[in-house]
Amino acid sequence: MEYTTLGDTGMEVSRLCLGCMSFGDPDWREWVLDEAESQPIIDRAIDLGINFFDTANMYSTGESERIIGNALEGRREESIVATKVYFQMDEDDPNSGGLSRKTIEQELDASLDRLGMDTVDLYQIHRYDYDTPMEGTLRALDDAVRRGKTRYIGASSMWTHQFADALHTSERLGLDRFATMQNHYNLVYREEEREMLPFCQKEGIGTMPWSPMARGYLTRPHDEVDSTARGASEEYLYEHPYLDGGGPAVNERVEELADEYDASMAQIALAWVLDKEWVDAPIVGTTSVEHLEEAVEALDIDLAESDVEYLEEPYEPVPVSGHE
């Protein structure tokens, strides 16, 4: 396994972060694996040297956190555990979502309880909360750091001007600032190259892109996208603009290069993200040990510069996707 420093945190993370959205309760999403099916994947990830795990309170309404907490029992110190807050956990309780101090304090305690941990390494805001001033959110997050409930704080998909304003607010008030950005980035969604990724690079922010294989769209020919349980049922796959802006042409080129490199399409898609200097650790989603092993093997693929250009050429700008 290769390791890299996550932004300016000083923490060494594996170059692949294991996405834990696929672990939890199949009643939440059809393609999600239960604990018995998830455990061997997490064990194998640890065997392969992955030390970085990303979950969220809302994944399977907490079950993902519980599973990863159980799986890491006895190996907590060597793991980097990241979770998130924002989406409403209980439809009858409006304060179980958002980024107020009340929500943050209650939800962080609930996450720690499910994880069976006293502290997480990274606590991230899953989205921007238009109803809560960022200053209040940052003060609550800073207190969480002071209380030892999280070591670092991070953010996820938002506009760059919102993120820049949050960093500025932290500096102005002498509060802990966001150390990481978890954003939407892959070969068929590259809008983050305009502002967010260069900004993060300049500011020493650790980057951990989500859906690096476009939720599976880049792992098989585009006319077979609905051939798996997830492909057939996941609405987000179709809500993202992967089929616009040259997406199918990019997909065909991924397939073509997969043949040339004797690799799978998933590996070429991942190798492209890993090739980008502004990416620290893409968060990979997997539902099998074999796919996980393939992802790790992608670290050994060194794409020729001309092939990177060839893969990128058909892309055209698409509507912003992943935040509002």
Ligand X SMILES: NC(=O)c1ccc[n+]([C@@H]2O[C@H](COP(=O)([O-])OP(=O)(O)OC[C@H]3O[C@@H](n4cnc5c(N)ncnc54)[C@H](OP(=O)(O)O)[C@@H]3O)[C@@H](O)[C@H]2O)c1
Q: Active site includes 59?
A: yes
Q: Residue count at the site for ligand X (CB under 6 A)?
A: 30
Q: Judged by CB under 6 A, which of 97, 98, 216, 246 binds ligand X? A: 216
Find the DSSP H helices in 128-213.
134-146, 160-173, 196-203
The yes or no reply on residue 283 touching ligand X (CB under 6 A) is yes
Distance CA 269, CA 252 (A): 11
Residue number closest to ligand X, CB atom? 285
Type of residue numbered 227: S
Other Cβ atoms less than 10 A from the Cβ of 155: the count is 26
Please report which helix (H) or strand (E) contains residue 42, including its range. Answer: helix 35-47
Which one is catalytic: 3, 59, 123, 185? 59
Q: How far is the CB of 19 from ligand X (least distance, A)?
A: 2
Interface stretch with ligand X, choices 144-152, 170-178, 205-213, 252-260 (CB under 6 A): 205-213
- Alpha-carbon distances of 94 from 89, 237, 313, rounded to whole Å: 9, 27, 45
Helices (H) and strands (E) in the chain — how many of each? 12, 10
Interacting positions 121-180 with ligand X (CB under 6 A) = 126, 156-157
The 10 Å CB-count burial string (b at 16+, else e) for 6-32 is: bbebebebbbbbbbbbbbbbeebbebb
Q: Judged by CB under 6 A, which of 45, 214, 257, 271 binds ligand X? A: 214
Interface stretch with ligand X, choices 19-27, 40-48, 199-207, 301-309 (CB under 6 A): 19-27
Interacting positions 76-115 with ligand X (CB under 6 A) = none
Contact positions toward ligand X, by CB under 6 A? Answer: 19-22, 31, 54, 126, 156-157, 182, 210-216, 219, 228, 230-231, 264, 266, 283-287, 291, 294
